[in-house]
Amino acid sequence: MSSNILFISETLFKERTGASTAIDGKQIFPMIKVAQDMYIQPTLGSTFYKRLQMGIDAGNLTNDEKLVIDDYITDSLVWYTMSLLPFAMGYQLFSKGFLQKTAEESTTPSHKDLELISSQYKSMAEFYNTRMIWYLQENYNKYFEYLNPGSGADVIFPETRAYSCGIFLGDYIGKPSPRYVNSTSINITPLVAYFTTTGGEASFTVNELMGKEPFFASRGGLSKGITKFATANTSYIQIVNGLVTLPTGDIAMPGELFTFLYR
């Protein structure tokens, strides 16, 4: 369970959204906490998420960590919080149960209206969350806990997509072509390796990845996160010095295509 250390304040939330300054912070705080745990933690992974909270508490955040919070987490969290508030603010628990609030000289929106408002705000949050995922994937070497989330049943691995859909529609439109910067700040194009399974493999070796640094993997067109640790999370695959290991209990189907970007 995460601590009660928030990445944004009540004041910042009201400034960014234009929410009334008369709103009681006691109504906003719980939803910021919920939005952090539900949406920001899966994006960062629980290990990196806790590191940022500890850094705020101890006052020892690095400049790179401050950048993630100020330039990426803040915008995403503000609008995820807004997506939760239409129902949280519209209904309150009293001794008689949950009651909908009303006010004189105003019209109370319908349940359908509240769902539409919530959906619009969530769409805005997912836009900013996508930008955060892209940034972290390209700059993963600056954040040790993001690249090394560890292992264990309670570990949340970083998500690779901000939007969820039951049907694979191809990569998200608008994502820039991946180009990366080396230590001398010269743009380079990543190398690509492919592997097609015969079926039944729980692990296999990709020679091109031996001694290299893989930073992207896909399986059958679906992107997968990369970890150095054994995992049962099907959103990830383990890669250690060219040895690719599928999630615990998983085996490859005949003809599955794996794609890897490396440098």
The pLDDT value recorded for residue 64 is 96
User: Within this chain, do residues 135 and 184 fall inside the same structural domain, yes or no?
Assistant: no
From 6, 126, 173, 27, select the one nearest 86 (Cα to Cα). 27
Domain range for residue 143? 10-147
pLDDT at 172 over 50: no
- Greater confidence (242 vs 155) lies with 242
User: Whole-model pTM?
Assistant: 0.63
Residue 23: pLDDT band (50, 70, 90) is: confident
The answer to the question of residue 168 being in a domain is no
Domain count, the chain: 2
The answer to the question of residue 169 being in a domain is no
pLDDT at 182 over 80: no
The answer to the question of residue 239 being in a domain is yes
Report the length, in residues, of the chain: 263
User: Within this chain, do residues 46 and 140 fall inside the same structural domain, yes or no?
Assistant: yes
Q: Which range has the worst mean pLDDT, 20-24, 144-148, 187-191? A: 187-191
User: Within this chain, do residues 121 and 193 fall inside the same structural domain, yes or no?
Assistant: no
